[in-house]
Structure 1
Amino acid sequence: MPSPDDTMRAVEEETPVILSARRMAWMRFRSNPAALIGGFMVISVILAAIFAPLIAPYPEAAGNTIDFANRHAAPSAENFAGTDKVGRDIFSRVIFGFRVSLLLVIGVLGIAVPVGAALGLAAGYFGGRTELLITGFTNVMLAIPPLVIALAVGSILTPTLVNAMIAIALLWWTWHARLVYRVAKSVAAEDFVEAARLAGASHWHVLTREILPNCIAVISVKTTLDAAFVILFGATLSFLGLGVRPPTPDLGSMVADGRQFLPEMWWGVFFPALGIFYATLGFNLLGDGLRDMFDVEV
């Protein structure tokens, strides 16, 4: 006859383990190698941007340093990625270029995400004329190519990092507004939202405590994926001469400067372009991993 301890042990072994939704989501993310690689790449870019003066072998290359005796030096042990047309270390400038790219991401998405989310929530929750007005205006803005409006703003204003943020953010909020509107409209029809209304909850409470938490997952995924596009978009503006002004290191302007000396001085284009590729790929892989983790569509 089995002892009480043996019986309890058998019951525990046969009892299924019930995991929380949060733990299951984390397990899905952890089991995705591409997501982990993307997370590592994003963290490395962020750390490189924060600690650029400590990581860059020649931090003075981010400024007005000129060394014509070392101009267009090929990649070597002293200059891992070679030097540019005035002798500045390209690898150091790429590291500092990550700082400009991340500042652009923070500035653009810091404007676009709150504005788009607020408009999407209002349209999805209130409906009626509010919905028609917001969705109609959003659709009109979506019809305008982002690069066209960015070029127009960039050509009118002085090319600076702040103006580049404004030029990109002017249309970027539309994608978040449309996405949050779709989710908010679906959530607003749920029973728990109706119960909160009947209980006398204010519109602010329903929007921020009932509907918004259900939009956080899609907002997080969309923001992560958008970071890659903002980096690429900002590099495009800089390549066209509408980004930050020299001597501030910017990956797009570095590619534009280096292309003048192709194909002999290939490193002037290859390493800045590799930096753009590395940062955008990292955010894309991380965003895809978060999408699988939260099991949402954006």
Structure 2
Amino acid sequence: MSHLDTTDDTQMTAAWMGWYRFSRNPAAIIGAAIVISVLVMAALAPWITPFPDHVGSVVDFRNRHAPPSAVNWMGTDKAGRDIFSRTVFGFRVSLLLVFGVLVISVPVGAVLGMCAGYFGGWAEKIITGLTNVMLAMPPLVMALAIGNVLEPTLINAMFAITLLWWTWHARLVYRVTVSVANEDFIEAARLAGAGPVHILFREILPNCIAVISVKTTLDAAFVILFGATLSFLGFGVKPPTPDLGSMVADGRQFLPEKWWEVLAPGFAIFYATLGFNLLGDGLRDMFDVEA
């Protein structure tokens, strides 16, 4: 049996063991089920909601503040719009925010972290110094400052969060890169004539995939909470677009009598963040990494 075959068998065995740990973890399975349900609801929102037109500027003042019923499962808001329909569509906004933030911050942070850990010297000092400076800034205060300058839109909310979010991935990948940069397989690749780009993306990056996957999944929950907080404070998506944070903000002024106007979007935020947190913990146990 060749060395390559032995390596493949070892990797396959490790993969099966990881999947076995994941499948035997009830919390991880529940988390995966919750995340899948959120994704499905967001994708099928126009077809599974009873009042998809209530996403827009539709008003029905004769039905405003209606309690939960067979027609309006979660009641209606101050404009008479169906809260269940708007909550399901609110998942779309939250997931778009997660995608927009992480699709930028994860690659940027990973590349900068690998460069700092592999090259060292001035590259390490500049990147780690910039990372430490950005991490010293309170994320919410920074995002609020940006949101106060820019128009409150989904794109600007993504920009405000992304501006700071890459730093966490840069620091995480930097630690992994430093730990593997002096391994024998890196030296062998260097002696074989491999350039820095090959070493970074073909040798080091595969060793970072596990921790990046775990961190990204856990980050999805934090981005949803962070985005909801910005919207709650008035720096998120513009109305009448349904956003879970702004729905909570709109409903709180009618508490405690109209409790359903806060309960539905609040529970949706809890439901989505719980799912991503449980899934992230399950992936951490599966890969047996710290993130």
**TM-score scaled by structure 2?**
0.96
Match of 2:289 in 1: 296
| Residues 201-231 of structure 1: per-residue CA shift (max 9 Å, x gap) | 0111100110000000000000000000000
How many angstroms apart in 2 are the aligned matches of 1:158 and 1:196?
A: 49
Is 2:60 aligned against 1:67? Answer: yes
Query: Using the alignment, how far apart are the partners of 1:258 and 1:86 within structure 2?
Result: 11
| Structure 1 residues 195-210: aligned runs within 5 Å | 195-210=188-203
1:76-155 to 2 correspondence within 5 Å? 76-155=69-148
Question: In structure 1, what is the Cα distance between the partners aligned to 2:221 and 2:12?
Answer: 33
Q: Quick one: which of 206, 216, 224 aligns to 1:213?
A: 206
Indicate how the Cα distance of structure 1 residues 183 and 153 shifts in structure 2: closer, same or farther if over 3 A, else same. same
Say if 2:256 is the partner of 1:263.
yes
> Share of identical aligned residues, percent?
74
Distance (whole Å) between structure 2 residues aligned to residue 116 and residue 207 of structure 1: 14
Counterparts of 1:177 and 1:56, CA distance in 2:
40
AA matched with 2:157 = A
Amino acid at match of 2:287: F
Among residues 176, 182, 187, which one is paired with 1:183 in the alignment?
176
Q: Which amino acid aligns with 2:70?
A: A
- The equivalent position to 1:163 in structure 2, one of 153, 156, 162, is 156
The whole-number CA distance in structure 1 between the counterparts of 2:12 and 2:244 is 44
Q: Secondary structure at the match of 1:218?
A: helix
- Secondary structure in structure 2 of the residue aligned to 1:261: coil
Structure 1 distance, partners of 2:52, 2:224, is 22
How big is each residue's C-alpha offset from its partner over 1:145-201, in whole Å with a ceiling of 9 and x where there is no partner? 000110010010000000000000000000000000000111111110011001110
Partner in structure 2 of residue 36 of structure 1: 29
**2:224 counterpart of 1:231:** yes
- Structure 1 residue 110 displacement after superposition: 0.9
- Note the aligned Cα RMSD (angstroms): 0.9
Task: For structure 2, list consecutive stretches of 5 or more residues without a partner in the other structure.
Answer: 1-10
Amino acid at match of 1:215: C
Matched residue, 1:12: none
- Cα distance between partner residues in 1 of 2:284 and 2:254: 41
Question: How far apart, CA to CA, are the structure 2 residues paired with 1:86 and 1:151?
Answer: 28
CA displacement 1:110-167 (0-9 Å, x = unmatched): 1110110010000011111111111011001100000011001001000000000000
Please give the alpha-carbon distance, in whole angstroms, between the structure 1 residues aligned to 2:58 and 2:12.
57
How far apart are 1:19 and its partner, in Å?
Answer: 6.7
**Following the alignment from structure 2 to structure 1, what is the Cα–Cα distance between the partners of residues 190 and 108?**
25
Matches of 1:54 and 1:292, distance apart in 2? 36
Q: Residues 241 and 220 (structure 1 numbering): CA distance in 2 closer, same or farther, change over 3 Å?
A: same
CA distance in 2, matches of 1:69, 1:204: 64
Instruction: State the distance in 2 between where 1:57 and 1:211 align.
Output: 49
Q: Distance in 2 between matches of 1:179 and 1:160?
A: 30
Distance (Å, rounded) in 1 between the aligned partners of 2:247 and 2:12:
49
Point out the structure with max Rg over C-alpha: 1
- Where do 5+ consecutive residues of structure 1 fail to align? 1-17
Output the TM-score relative to the length of structure 1.
Answer: 0.93
Residues of 2 paired with 1:289 and 1:41: CA distance? Answer: 13
The count of residues paired between Structure 1 and Structure 2 equals: 281
SS in 1 for 2:253: helix
Residue 222 of structure 1 pairs with residue 233 of structure 2: no
Distance 2:40 2:79 in 1: 27
Three-state SS of the structure 2 residue aligned to 1:22 is helix
| Partners of 1:76 and 1:226 in 2: CA distance | 36
| 2:46 is equivalent to residue 46 of structure 1 | no
Q: Which residue of 1 aligns with 2:5?
A: none
